[in-house]
Amino acid sequence: MGKDVQPQRWADRLTADSFRQLQPTPVFGSPFHPMPIACHRPHALISRRQWTGFDGLFFDESTPGAAWIREHAFVCLPLLNETTTFVAHGEFHPHLAIRGLETSPLGADFSINGRKITGFDSLRPGPLSVRFTIDYSKLRSKPLLHVRLRGVGLTNFLAWLARVAAPSRFAGKLQRFRQQNKNRQFRLTRIETANGLVVFDFSNQHTAFSSDFARHHGRLGLNVAGFLTGDLGIGESARCMVRAADTVQLPVALVDLDKFHCKSRRGDLTYSARLQHDNPHAVNIIHLDPPASACIDRHHPSLRRHKYNIAYWAWELPDFPQGWLKNCDYFDEIWCPSDFTRDSMAGKTPLAVYTMPHAISFPRPGEPSSTLRARLGLPADKFLFLLIYDLNSYSQRKNPGAVIGAFRASGLAGRGAALVIKTHGTAGNETALAALRVAIAGLPEATLLTETLSRTDIYALEAACDCLVSLHRSEGFGLVVAECMLLGKPVIATDWSATAEFLNETNGCPVRACPVTLGQNHGPYAKGQTWTEPDVAHAAWWMQKLAGDAALCTRLGDAAQATIEQKFSPAKIGARYRQRLETIACW
């Protein structure tokens, strides 16, 4: 509970508004209270469970197949996709030990989200069933079944009094009320659908909620929030997720974070017709850099509210910055694109971190290479090495100088090979662009492209060239590397960080690299962190081998394509999403 929220009495809590706010925690006998939504920074390590659970139900050995109620019990029912009729089953068995005050009538009221379904003034011995229908199309909050016992106020008070007065002689005659035998006469046994599918089975104390029911009937879906029209890596990250969800037919709502400033052009219209402002599903997956997460509530104040919030974060170095840990407060768990990134976060963050790689799939350009080269203004008869990077991703990490140096060292310039450098994000990065122009000055057969291309033209450029070269100092995934591999291109890449998880000597050209410690800050990459320095001579050797061996290019390209299709297909990645959402739905 937040420091600004004080515990409330039961009578104060049971209002229509509090029913909409209740967030049950399936811990037996725990306090049950509305979960506060922080006005500013959310409180860390507060679990915001959204789906199923119960509170106020208790178990004993005398009737192991059911649960009894002290006064109030709550069962949070799963979110489903269609109108559903449920049946709550219970039973009343007179307790042999009751006497005196405990023999007065015992009643019960049943309600859903504060609306009374039915009530019983005096329960009779035998089974009891309560049928109710939930129209999920009209339901904004999760359905909460509330069972309240009537006629137990006095005996509950005496049970409390016996506990607090236990040391005194006066309390001796009250001790029998502590057993609450009157309450134990009525028990809930199970909740099922009208056609007999068990939702809760209270004979199984620790796993009462049916995980099979959740997997097959729960309302699974996700809200993907991000720069869905942005021409940048984190925008493509969100679009990759939509592809995977669509492939496995997971319902997905696309929420563009249009209130955030984006340095790159918002020109990708792939999913523009599907963008919306509301986020109807129970799970948000928010694609943002960790530092920007602190501004979510300011720019999109209703986005996180009453949702299970997942951060999709990428990070490129082995050590996640300590100063960013506070931004975990806005989320319930973290997804990331690689094991390398997961390892950098998992040992430091208070949240669970899961690897959910990008889904790599797109329509292959149908035109022949010669046509693509003519359209893009590339040399028609050269072996083309390609370097692609975003200046906003920091030249020091992307390391274009190493690629230029390797091409010079290869001696291939003017001997049937050429280097194509595609970069964008020039606004605000004029110094880095000028340094790039100086680096290629005097280099024959070098083409520099600086305009922002559509995704279709990026794929065309990748398809038109013969080999991608990425001598990065570190990567959190390596989208361009994976894209070119899918196109069947051999890739020369630094053998370190995330790209090493899917590129090796059987399907590409890994370049030796030595770890180095940063001696100064480069944007978020701080002095004292570690990245690598790729071996330029080794990269040049790979260039020479590929330029002179068409069969090697074909063999590596075919293996590269098979790797990406096997590891990162939308169907495979989407299945990982579904499995995780099913697990969350069982909580």
Spacing of C-alpha 357 from chain mean position: 11
542 and 428 belong to one structural domain = yes
Answer with the one of 217, 241, 270 that is the final residue of a domain.
217
**Chain centroid, CA 188 distance in Å:** 35
The answer to whether residue 579 sits within a structural domain is yes
Place of tokens 């939702």: 199
CA atoms within 13 A on the CB side of 448: 17
Answer yes or no: is 439 within a domain. yes
The verdict on 101 and 248 lying in the same domain is no
Tell me, what's the pLDDT at 142? 78
pLDDT reported for residue 519 = 96
Count of the separate structural domains present in the chain = 3
Q: 3-state secondary structure string, 5-16?
A: CCCCCHHHHCCH
Is position 268 within any domain?
yes
Is the residue at 3 inside a domain? no
Residues 317 and 385 in one domain: no
Cβ partners under 8 Å of residue 579, min gap 6:
none
Q: Please give the helix or strand (H or E) that residue 246 lies within, else none.
A: helix 233-247
- Whole-number pLDDT of residue 61: 80
Contact present, 488 and 557 (Cβ < 8 Å) = yes
347 plus 230 within the same structural domain: yes
Please tell me the predicted confidence (pLDDT) of residue 273: 96
Q: Are both 458 and 521 inside the same structural domain?
A: yes
Instruction: Compute the half-sphere exposure of residue 479: CA atoms within 13 Å on the CB side of its CA.
Output: 23
Cα(162)–Cα(138) distance, rounded to whole angstroms?
Answer: 46
Q: What is the 3-state secondary structure (H, E, C) of 535-587?
A: CHHHHHHHHHHHHCCHHHHHHHHHHHHHHHHHHCCHHHHHHHHHHHHHHHHCC
Is residue 4 assigned to a domain?
A: no
Same domain (yes/no): 35, 179: yes
Give me the domain span that covers residue 463.
369-567
Q: Which residues of the chain have pLDDT under 50?
A: 1-50
Residue 467 in any domain: the answer is: yes
Element (H, E) at 233: helix 233-247
Alpha helices in 306-441 (DSSP H): 339-346, 369-376, 395-398, 400-410, 430-440
250 and 355 both lie in a single domain: yes
CA angle 287/291/292 to nearest 5° reads 55
Rounded Cα gap, residues 109 and 116, in angstroms = 7
Q: What CATH number is given to the structural domain containing 511?
A: 3.40.50.2000
Residue 200 shares a structural domain with residue 244: no
Kindly report the number of other CB atoms within 10 A of residue 411's CB atom: 12
Residue 5 within a domain: no
SS3 388: strand
- pLDDT score recorded for residue 190: 95
User: How far apart are alpha carbons 466 and 24 in whole angstroms?
Assistant: 57
How much is the pLDDT for 46? Answer: 35
Say whether both 194 and 254 belong to one domain.
Answer: no
Instruction: List the beta strands (DSSP E) in 450-508.
Output: 467-470, 491-494
Buried b (16+ CB within 10 A) or exposed e, 463-474: bbbbbbbbbbbb
The residue out of 217, 241, 263 marking a domain boundary is: 217
Task: Pick the last residue of a domain from 173, 199, 217.
Answer: 217
Residues 274 and 193 in one domain: no
235: left (phi over 0), alpha (psi -120 to 50) or beta: alpha
- 457 lies in the same domain as 508: yes
pLDDT score, position 58:
93
- The predicted structure's pLDDT at residue 51: 54
Whether 419 and 541 share a structural domain: yes
On whether residue 172 sits in a domain, the answer given is: yes
Helix (H, G, I), strand (E, B), or coil: what is residue 420?
strand
Residues 6+ apart with CB under 8 A from 531: 316, 317, 397, 473, 474, 497, 515, 516, 518, 525
